[in-house]
């Protein structure tokens, strides 16, 4: 990918077709990969200009005042998007609106090509009334347009709003445009003139994106012998307490799973395979889920690393996401290694992933939309199952603790002094913080997302 490539993804489609959901997913995915991406939602600009709680009549094509204000909102969104490209040096912008006429798409195409910006149109088409009504109930009725409005009244109003758009909606037929059409929640795709790295990457992602309710469970392996010894990496066996966690894990999963089918993914390392041994579900091993490769530091304690490689130890705390162990990996490398697993996760419904601290951090960071500074510090405790329920605009999270003690391997963020003396002092101070107390037995069942948390 060349550094000066700039791309706008222009969403197209009738209301309640999942455009904003798709746009949010694209932004989350690209930012997770380190490709700077921002979303510009024209509806937000329209609410600033005309206010929220506008009845469906505002969207009637014969309502000249409403039409003028919606056109003004589209222009403001475009202006801010162009400013973002210039001032923030962005790479991918998403222009989220219905853009449901040939005239509107032509205007956008002409304005963007003036600034040497590539355009990819993404059209979401759905004729399944049950999916549309479900989207209205689950997403649109919680939007600012209908806050405090009776759900039945809101549903009728939004259905009427859709009917106004249907009167002048024009599907994409412009053969000289780059576009992808997603038909009936991914049952069919139409692709035209896809060019370059970014467009191809986004199209491939969209073809793996399935909008179905799902639950994902993450669990680190049970406490290992290396955990007890405060060593990193390796392929150690479970400790006695780790084996007890493996024995109790099936009851916790069965209690909270109900009669849903489940597949278990593990890494190729012994401690995850041993943790999954008693689970009565289909299992799949992924080499991609292996722990962060710590290179020459494999099997060492943090105290030993600080003593033998003091510069590396300090450098990692300065930029944990990008620091690469000598002969090993960085968190950035791990994100790229995990991309195929994320693609497959988007296609699945109920998955239990038994993996490692850094691996789970990267996958958790994808679903929780964490930036690269936050991601390496998420707290992923041992003997705890994290449940995620991805939705359109958020991801519900619950923690379930198995009542088996384990060491706490979390290393907090340390801001080091620049001097040699300061680095050494910081290193010894952090090792003291990294001692291994017993993890508390009763964390909250539904904690808020942790903003700081370590391999």
Q: Does residue 53 carry a catalytic annotation? A: no
**Annotated active-site residue in 109, 221, 356, 383:** 221
Q: What are the backbone dihedrals phi and psi of residue 17, each rounded to the nearest 5 degrees, phi first?
A: -110, 10
Encoded tokens for 62: 């014969």
- In DSSP terms, 216 is beta-bridged to 351, 388
- Give the CB-side neighbour count of residue 175, counting CA atoms within 13 A: 0
pLDDT of residue 424: 34
- Which of the following is catalytic: 291, 329, 346, 430? 291
Contact 77, 8 (CB under 8 A): no
291 belongs to the catalytic site:
yes
How many whole angstroms separate alpha carbon 309 and alpha carbon 405? 32
Question: What would the two tokens of residue 34 be?
Answer: 């380190």
**Could you tell me the mean pLDDT of each successive run of 10 residues in the chain, 455 residues long?**
81 92 93 96 94 89 93 97 96 96 96 96 91 77 80 89 92 96 89 95 92 87 97 97 98 90 97 98 97 96 94 92 96 97 92 98 96 96 95 84 96 63 33 31 36 35
Backbone angles phi, psi at 139, to 5 degrees: -120, -60
CA distances from 440 to 205, 262, 264, 406, 444 (A): 39, 29, 27, 9, 10
CB atoms within 10 A of CB 407: 21
182 closest CA partner among 199, 203, 198: 203
Q: Which of 96, 223, 290, 346 is catalytic?
A: 96
Domains of the chain listed by start with CATH number: 7-207 (3.40.50.300), 215-433 (3.40.50.1240)
pLDDT of residue 349: 86
Contacts of 384 (CB under 8 A, 6+ apart): 219, 220, 399, 400, 401, 402, 439, 443
Half-sphere exposure of 337 (CA within 13 A, CB side): 20
First to last CA, the chain: 30
Find out whether 69 and 49 touch, Cβ atoms under 8 Å: yes
> Which positions ≥6 away from 335 have C-beta within 8 Å?
32, 33, 34, 362
> Model pTM?
0.85
Residue 27 has a pLDDT of: 95
The DSSP bridge pattern shows strands 118-125 and 179-183 to be: parallel
Angstrom distance (rounded) from CA 411 to CA 388? 24
d(CA 190, CA 179): 8
């Amino acid at each position: 990918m060349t550094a000066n490539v700039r791309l706008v993804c222009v969403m197209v489609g009738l209301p309640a077709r999942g455009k904003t959901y798709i746009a949010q997913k694209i932004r989350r995915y690209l930012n997770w990969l380190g490709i700077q991406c921002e979303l510009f939602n024209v509806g937000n600009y329209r609410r600033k200009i005309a206010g929220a709680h506008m009845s469906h009549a505002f969207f009637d094509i014969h309502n000249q005042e409403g039409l003028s204000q919606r056109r003004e909102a589209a222009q403001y969104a475009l202006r801010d998007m162009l400013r973002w490209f210039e001032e923030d040096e962005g790479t991918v912008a998403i222009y989220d609106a219905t853009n449901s006429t040939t005239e509107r798409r032509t205007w956008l195409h002409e304005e963007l090509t003036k600034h040497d910006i590539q355009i990819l149109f993404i059209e979401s088409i759905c004729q399944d009334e049950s999916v549309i009504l479900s989207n209205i109930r689950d997403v649109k009725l919680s939007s600012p347009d209908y806050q405090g409005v009776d759900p039945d009244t809101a549903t009728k109003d939004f259905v009427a709003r859709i009917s106004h758009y249907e009167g002048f909606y024009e599907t994409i037929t412009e053969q000289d445009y780059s576009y992808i059409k997603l038909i009936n929640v991914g049952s069919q795709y139409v692709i035209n003139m896809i060019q370059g790295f970014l467009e191809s990457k986004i199209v491939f992602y969209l073809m793996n994106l399935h909008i179905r309710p799902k639950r994902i469970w993450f669990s680190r392996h049970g406490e290992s012998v290396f955990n007890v010894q405060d060593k990193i990496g390796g392929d150690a066996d479970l400790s006695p307490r780790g084996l007890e966690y493996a024995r109790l894990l099936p009851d916790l999963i069965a209690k909270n799973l109900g009669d849903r089918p489940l597949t278990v993914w593990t890494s190729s390392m012994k401690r995850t395979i041993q943790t999954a041994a008693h689970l009565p579900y289909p299992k799949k091993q992924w080499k991609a889920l292996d722990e962060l490769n710590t290179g020459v530091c494999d099997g060492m304690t943090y105290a030993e690393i600080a003593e033998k490689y003091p510069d590396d130890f300090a450098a990692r705390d300065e930029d944990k996401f990008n620091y690469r162990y000598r002969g090993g990996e960085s968190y950035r490398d791990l994100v790229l290694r995990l991309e195929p697993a994320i693609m497959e996760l988007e296609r699945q419904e109920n998955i239990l992933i038994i993996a490692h601290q850094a691996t789970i951090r990267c996958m958790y960071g994808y679903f929780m939309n964490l930036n690269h500074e936050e991601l390496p510090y998420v707290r992923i405790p041992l003997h705890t199952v994290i449940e995620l329920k991805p939705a359109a605009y958020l991801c519900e999270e619950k923690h379930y603790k198995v009542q088996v003690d384990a060491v706490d391997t979390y290393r907090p963020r340390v801001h080091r002094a620049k001097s040699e003396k300061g680095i050494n002092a910081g290193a010894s101070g952090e090792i003291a913080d990294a001692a291994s107390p017993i993890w508390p037995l009763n964390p909250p069942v539904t904690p808020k997302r942790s903003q700081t948390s370590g391999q």
